[in-house]
Each structure stands twice: as C-alpha cells, then as structure tokens.
Amino acid sequence: MSHKIAVIPGDGTGPEVVVEGLKCLKAAAEKCGFKYETVAFDFGGERYKRTGETLPDSALEELKTFNAIYLGAIGHPDVKPGILEKGILLRTRFELDQYINLRPVKLYPNVDCPLKDKGPEEIDFVVVRENTEGLYAGSGGFLKKGTPDEIATQESVNTRKGVERCLRYAFELTRKRNRDNTLTLCGKTNVLTYAFDLWERVFHEIGDADYPDIKRDYAHVDATCMWMVKNPEWFDVIVTDNMFGDIITDLGAMVQGGMGVAAGGNINPEGVSMFEPIGGSAPKYTGQGIINPIAGIAALQMMLDTLGEEEAADILEKAIITVASTRLNSMSAGQMGYSTSEVGDLIADAVVRM
Ligand code: IPM
Ligand code: MN
C-alpha cells in the first residue's frame, strides 16, 4: 500500500521547512520499505493575492481523498490577518472535522530550556486541544458597527458531542502513554460557569464510567500557565478547549526549546489528519535558509505514526533527537550552526544510519 500525502507548503518559511520534512520522509521510506506519493497544493498568500481565492471549493473534497496532509505554514504579511487563517487553516480543520489538535511538549536532551533546573525528565507532556469549537466556531457578530454604540460579541460554542469526543480521545491517549496515567482538565470553572461546567461534568462522568484507571486532575488556565513553568513534571496529558489550547501550547513550545521544535497534528481519528509545525510562517526569516526545520520534521514524524508507520516514526524521532542533542548549537533560527537544509541533511543521514 502506498500512502497518498497532500502537501501544502503555504507561506513564509513553510516551503523551506516542508522540503526538509519530505527529505526525511524519503529517507524513512527507503529505510523502512514503505511507499508513498505526494501531491502539492499551492494554497496560501501568494495564490490569494493572484486569484482572490483562499481554498477553491473542490479542494476540501480533493483533500479528503488523501491519507494525510502535510502543511508548512499559513499567514502572509501582505494579507489582512484572519483571511488566510480562517479561509485555509481553520476551514480545513473544521470541514475535515479534525477535532483534536495534538501538541506534544517534549524537551530533547541537551536542548536549551528557559526553565531553571528542568530537563527532559521534567518536560514530557501532551496537550490535547479541542480543534473545531469554542471561541473559534465563529459565533457572534457586530451590531451598530462603526458607531459609538457598537457591540461586538464572540461566543464560545461547546457541544456535548464535541466536548465528549475530545475528552475520550484524551483519556485514551493518557492510557496509551501509560506514563503517570493522569489527565488534567485545563479550564476556567470559576468564571466560565457554563462552558466549563459542561466540560467538567462530562470529564467526571466518562472518567467514572469508562476510565477508572486514569487519575483526574483539574487546573484553571491561568494556574496551568504557572505550573507549566514552575512544575512542568506534574503534567502527563492536558485536555482543554480551543482557545486555551492555542495559548498554552505557545508557552509549551517555549518550554520545550522554542518554536523551532514544536509540532502538532490536527487529527480526525476517523478521517484525514493534517500535520504542521506550530510556529507559523515567520516572515522575517523567509528565504534566508536559517529557519529551524525540526518542528516541520517532527510534524512529519507524527504523520508517520498516524499512518501506521510506527517503526519509521520511531527511527525519525531518534534521528531528530540525535541531531538536536549532539550537533545543533541552538534551536533558534540563525543560531543552529547549520543552515535549514543542512539540518535536514543531518537528520535524513541519521535516519539512514539508525
Ligand atoms: C495555531 C495558530 C492558529 C490558531 C492561527 C494561525 C489561526 O495560532 O495553530 O496555533 O490559532 O489555531
Ligand atoms: Mn497558536
């Protein structure tokens, strides 16, 4: 069987990073003997500027025919914020019902961490971010726009179905990881007394009924930020809504050594998933060959895992760790001691020699 992979290099440094990911995919496929084919799509800011179109209507139907999607980055300095993000990234997440945003926070050995006295032992958790609802659902609007009496509302949408499937995924993942067997719900039950009331009720209801082996913990989102810095070792799996998940995973990225290493998967467990470095298009580094491709390569590693190529994913992770730990001076753009493509070469070579 050959894996059919849609590739969306996207904007900014996205294309540079995707090239390195595909280099490693080739090495992993040769090493482990699986087949794949890629089809590239030019969605992003340049296409939008040329045609006025974000995603053509046929695109989502077409993307559904692939086994996975590999995305570089979306966001262009010449395009008003929101157009590409909503029109391409969020639309794909929503319409392909990629209801989980899976974001591991794992510090590799020898990688600089801004937290004092914390190392790989202490920083190894996963954030399960709900990915189709909450404040991202697009509910709300303007009244009397542009007048002194203007009203803007933006509502958080939380459905029983959406909350439950996200929580179940997180419980299952906690069980599968079998690390501390602890799932922490991150919310704001002291203020958001409707949305997180639902989350908390379902959390305990299905926890009691179906996951008695998993310990349940709760932290408000503000306290979660504090503990992520003070005691990151307390976390095994964190589950949270879309907005809080967005925010705490940027903090998570810093804790694991920076945007240059942070990867994520937009997962539809029953459908087509999309994998991306979480750092965005980084316009100021574009075209210089200095961006760290590790986040993009780690996203590809997550993709291999989801495609059932566990051995290849494992080898690729070991290759990333070896290179990050023994070769790179820093995880930051321009300070790695190597160019973007040299880092890709080092990791692809390490895969072959693994
Ligand atoms: C992310 C990004 C997106 C989000 C933006 C670009 C819409 O910040 O993937 O975390 O908010 O989800
Ligand atoms: Mn974000």
Q: What is the pLDDT of residues 194-229, one digit of tens each?
A: 999 999 999 999 999 999 999 999 999 999 999 999
Indicate the top mutation candidate among 13, 43, 89 to test ligand 1's pocket, ranked by most ligand atoms within 8 A of CB: 89
* pLDDT digits 0-9 by tens, 103-132: 999 999 999 999 999 999 999 999 999 999
Please tell me the distance between residue 341's alpha carbon and the centre of ligand 1 in angstroms: 26
Tell me, what's the pLDDT at 1? 80
CA-CA distance, 121 to 124, in Å (whole number)? 7
Q: Which ligand is nearest to the CA of 101?
A: 1
Q: How far is the CA of 72 from the centre of ligand 2 (A)?
A: 14
- Can you read off the two tokens belonging to residue 196? 């997180």
pTM metric for this prediction? 0.97
335 pLDDT higher than 90 = yes
Q: Average pLDDT for residues 64-82, to the nearest whole number?
A: 97
Which ligand 1 atom is nearest residue 242's CA? 12
Which band of pLDDT confidence, cut at 50, 70 and 90, is reported for residue 157? very high
Q: Residue 17: what pLDDT?
A: 97
Per-residue pLDDT tens for 246-286? 999 999 999 999 999 999 999 999 999 999 999 899 999 99
Q: Could you tell me the distance, in angstroms and rounded to a whole number, from the CA of residue 168 to the centre of ligand 2?
A: 23
| Placement of tokens 């040329």 in the chain | 50
The alpha carbon of 249 and the centre of ligand 1 are apart by a number of angstroms equal to 10
Q: Which ligand is nearest to the CA of 89?
A: 1
Mean pLDDT of 70-92: 96
Q: What is residue 314's predicted lDDT score, i.e. its pLDDT?
A: 98
Which pLDDT value is given to residue 301? Answer: 98
Mutate-to-test residue for ligand 1 from 85, 129, 248, highest number of ligand atoms within 8 A of CB: 85
Beta strand 151-157 pairing with 35-40: unpaired
Strand partners, 265: 102, 275
Instruction: With a cut of 90, say whether residue 139 has pLDDT above it.
Output: yes
Say if residue 178's pLDDT is above 90: yes
Q: Residue 108 gets which letter from DSSP?
A: P
Q: Which atom of ligand 1 is nearest to the CA of 101?
A: 9
189-199 pLDDT per residue, tens: 999 999 999 99
Does residue 57 carry a pLDDT above 90?
no
Q: For residues 311-326, give the mean pLDDT.
A: 97
Which residue has its alpha carbon closest to ligand 1 atom 7?
85
Query: Which residues sit with their C-beta closer than 6 Å to ligand 1?
Result: 85, 89-90, 246, 278
278 alpha carbon, closest ligand? 1
Whose alpha carbon is nearest atom 9 of ligand 1? 278
Q: Give the Cα separation of 209 and 192 in Å (integer).
A: 25
Q: What Å distances lie between residue 18 and 2, 83, 208, CA to CA?
A: 20, 22, 43
Average per-residue pLDDT in the chain?
97
CA distances from 145 to 45, 119, 141, 157, 352 (A): 28, 50, 9, 23, 59
